[in-house]
Structure 1
Amino acid sequence: MAEDDVFTFRDTKPTPDMYHVYDDSQKGNNAPALVLDHGSYHCRVGWAVDTNPKLTFRNLMAKLRKEKGKSDVEVLVGNDIANFEAVRFQLKSPFDRDVITQIDTVETVFDYAFSHLGIDTEGSINHPIVLTEAVCNPSPARQFMNELLFECYQVPAVSVGIDALFSLQHNFSKPCVDLPTSLVVRLGYQTTHILPVIGGKCDPQGIRRINLGGLQMISYLHRLLQLKYPSHLSSVTFSRAEELIHDYGYIAEDYLEELSKWADGDFYDSNVRKIQLPFTPAPTAAETSLNLEQQQQRRKENVKRLVEINAKKREERLALDEERLETLQIIQHQLAEVDDALAVKLLRQAEITDEHHLEQEIQNIQDRVSRTRQKMAAAAANLNEEGEPKKPTETAEFQEWLEGIRKQRTEILSRRRERQQRRQELTKRKSAAAQERMRILSMLAKSGGTGPGKKKEDTFGMKDEDWDIYKAVSKDGGGSDSEAEQEKLNDLESALKRYDPNFKNYSGASSNVGEGGSGGFVPTAEFYQLHIGTERIRAPELFFQPSFIGSHQAGVSETIDYVVKLYDSETQLRLVNNVFVTGGCANIPGLLPRLKKDLLSMRPFESAFNVNIAADPAGDAWKGARDFARVAPPSAFLSRSEYQEYGPHYFAEHHASNKRFALTKQ
C-alpha cells in the first residue's frame, strides 16, 4: 500500500426488505417448507424451493420511545433499522450466548419475516418449518420455541437442527444421509463450538464451547481504538469497528513473529491502514480576513436597513399625525360658526369630549410632529457616518498610532510572561522567589506573636502597601490573566491584523498562549485519521488467545487438541482428516494457514490431517437446511399431534439435530 493511501468509512446503511408475493404455488397440500436459519447475527428466511434465502437481516429489534401524539410504540426489526448507533441502547437480541432467552423478541422477528414473505393466511402458518437452534439447546429454550410455533402460529410440523451440521451436510454429503466423520469448528457471533461428528452423528459428549465469538472480537477492537484515540470517542463507533474487522482484519500465522514485523518502519508504512474521519478544515488567513470583511459589510447593510425601516415608520407616523392635526384644526375653526348641537356632534366624531380636550390634543400632536421631524433630520445627517473610529489618514500620524498599538500589546504580553515566570519560580524550592516568599511569611509570623495573655489589634490590610506584601507571598505570583486584559489584547491584535501587514511576521507567540506556552491547536486532516496497524491482527487473535480480554478459557487450537485427545488414536486420525470450519467468522483471512500450523504442532510427527473451510461459511447453514427440507421424511419433523402427546420439550431427532435425552425426575 502506498503511504498516501487513505481510506474512509463506508457507513453502509441497510436496505429495507421488500414484501414478496405469496402466490398460489405456495399454498395448498403441497406447500413448500419454510427454512429459517435463526442465527444470533443474521436471520435468513426462505422457501425450500429457493436457491438463496429471500430475507437476510440482522436478528435485532429496536423498540423506540413513544412519541407525543402517537398511540403505538414504533418497533423496528432487522433492515428497517437505518442507523444502529442511533438506537444502540434500544436494541434487543433474542439470544444470550446462542440460547434464546427473549421469546417476545423472537415473536416480533418472526412476524417481520412472515409478513415480508407475503404470508397472509388468517391465524396460522400452513407450512412445515425447518429451524436452526443452539448446540445442546436447553430444554426450556426449546419448549418456548415449540409453544410459539405451535400455539401462536399454528404450524403443522417443526424440525430443528444445528446450523454447523447443516453446513457440513451441504459441503460433504447428501441430505438425510449420515454425516462424514469430521471435527466441526463453528465460529459464531456469540460463541465458538468444537463438535466431533462420529458414526454419522454429532457426539454430544465431546462437544466443547468457548464463550467468545465475533461480538467479543469487535468489542475488543472497539475498546482498543477508543483507548488509542480518546479524542475521537464519538467517531469510533461499534459499527465502524465491525467494518474495520470485515475489511482489514486478518489472522496471523505466527502472532509473535507478525508483531515483530510491525516493529519495522517500512513494514508498518506498507501495511498500516489509514482511515480518514469526517473533517472540516480550518479556514485560512485569507478566508478569515474575507469572512471578517463580509461580516463587517453585512453589519453595515443591516444597520442601513434598520435605519431605513425606522425612517419609513417615522414617515408613516408623521403622515398620520399631520392628517389628524389638520382634521382637528378644521373642527376648531368650525366650532365658532355652528350651534351647540352640531358642535357636540363634530367633537364626538373626532373622539373629543370638549373644546378644552380639543386644544390639548392639538398641542400634543404638534409637539409629536416637531419631535418626529427632528429625529428624521438627525437620522439623515448620521446615515453616512460609520459606527467605528477611522484610522488616521496622515502617514506620520498613522505610524505613531500604529506604534502605540504595538507598544500596548507588547506591555500586556510582557506582564503575562513575568507572571508566568514567577509562577514557575515559586514551584522551585530553592529559587530566589520562593526563598523571598518564605522570608516574608516568617516575618509576618513573628510580628503576630506578642506573648501569652497579650492581644494586639490586627491592622494588616489597612494600608495600601500591605497589598504589595500579599502579592509577594501569593503562590500565583500576585496576579492572573484577567478577562478585561484578554479583551484588550484581542482588540489590539484585531487592529494590528487589519492595519499592519507585517503583524504576523513579528508577533511571535499568539495572545491565546496558555500557561504552558503553546499556541492554540489547529486541527488538520492527519489528526482526524485512524492508523489501523497491529489492531488488524490483535482483535482476530482473540479466537486463539482469549486471555487478551481476561478470559481463562482455552483458545480454538487448544480446544481442538483437547477434544481430539478424548478419543482413541484411530478415531483421532479420522477426526483430523476432516477439520471443517464454518460460521461467519471463518471468512477472516489467514484462518486456514493458522489452523494448519497449529495442528501440525499438535499432531504426531508425519501424521496426516486436513482442514477445510465451508464454501460459504455464513450462508451454507441455510442452504444445508434447505436441502434437508426438500427430502426429509415425516419422521424428521415434530408434528402437531406429537407435540400435543409428548409435550413442548420434545423434538424429532435426526442426523443434523441435537441428541435427545430423557428427562429425569427431580
Structure 2
Amino acid sequence: LQKWRSPEYYENNMHKMQLPFSNKLLGSTLTSEEKQEKRQQQLRRLQELNARRREEKLQLDQERLDRLLYVQELLEDGQMDQFHKALVELNMDSAEELQSYINKLSLSVEQTKQKILQAEVNVEVDVVDSKPETPDLDTLGSEQSLEDVESINEFEPLFAEEQPEVEKPVAAVQPVFNLAEYHQLFLGTERIRAPEIVFQPSLIGEDQAGIAETMQYVLERYSKEQQALLVQNVFLTGGNTMYPGLKARVEKELLEMRPFQSTFQVHLAASPVLDAWYGARDWAVEYMAREEGWITRKDYEEKGGEYLKEHCASNVYVPIRLPKQAPRTSEALAPSRALAASSGNPCEQA
C-alpha cells in the first residue's frame, strides 16, 4: 500500500477495463456511401482481430506441444524418474495419453497455420484486385455474406470509438471528448485488497478466522513434536491458490507463528482447481462396492442434509472447550447465601 501512494506506481500498475457503451449521438447523420465505407473498415478490423487471435492461439499451442515433446524425449532417453514426475505435473496417467495429446496439438497447430496462410492469401488477392478509382458501393454490399454482416453488427460497438472522424454537416453534434474514457473501470489497490479477504475476512464484515488464524488454531491442538511434523507438509489447493504470491504469503505467516529457526515446507497443487474433483473421483472409485460412505436417495429425502453431519463420510465434529469462569469472591456470594439455602445452588441447577 505504501507503493500505491506514488502516482507513477499507480499509473504503471493500475488496470483499465473498458466497459461496453454506445457512442451514437443525437443529430449525427451519415450518407449511404459513408455508412458503406464504415462497414468496410469494420470488416477489415474484424479480419485483423481474427488474424491476431489465430497467431496467439498458434503460439500457445506451439509452447504446449514443445513441452509435451520434451516429456516424450525423456521417455525415449530412458529417464523414467523425470518422465513420471513430468506426467504427474501434467495430470496424465500414461505414455499413451501423452501421445494422444501430442497428436491433437500437432493437428491443431497445422490447422491454425493453414488458416493463417489462407487469410494472408485472401488479403493479397484483395490488394491486387483493388482499383484506384472509387468502387461501386452497391456491388461491395451485395458481395458480403450474411455471416460477415452479422459479425460486423456484433463487433460494431467494439470498434466504434476507434473510427476516424468523418466530415459532417456543421449542424451535426461534434464530440469534444473521448466517450470511451467515461466508461472504464479502474482497478488499483482492489487487486491486492480482494485476495486479502482470505486472510482478513473482517474487511467485508465477516466475523470468522482467516487462513493464518485457522492454521495456528489447528497446530495448537497438537504437541510441539507433532506440530513440527505437520508444518513439513502444508499443502495448498483450491481456486484461491491461483492468486499470485499466495504461497509466499502463507510461508510468511508460518515464519511468524513458528519458533525461531524452525523449518517448514509449503507445497502448491499442480492443478488446484480440479484437485478436489480428482480426490472425490478416486474416493468414489475406491468405495464404489462398499456401503460405507454412501446413503440412499430415500434416506436423504427422509432425513435431510442435517443427517450428513453425523454421517461417517462427513467431517468429525470437534467441540471447542471454553475456558472456565473464575470463581466469585466470598463478598459477592454473601448476599446470595440465604437464597442458596432455600432454593439450592443455582450452579448445580444449571
TM-score by length of 2: 0.42
- More helix, by proportion: 2
Q: Which has the higher contact order (CA 8 A, sep 6+)?
A: 1
The higher radius of gyration belongs to: 1
- More strand, by proportion: 1
TM-score by length of 1: 0.23
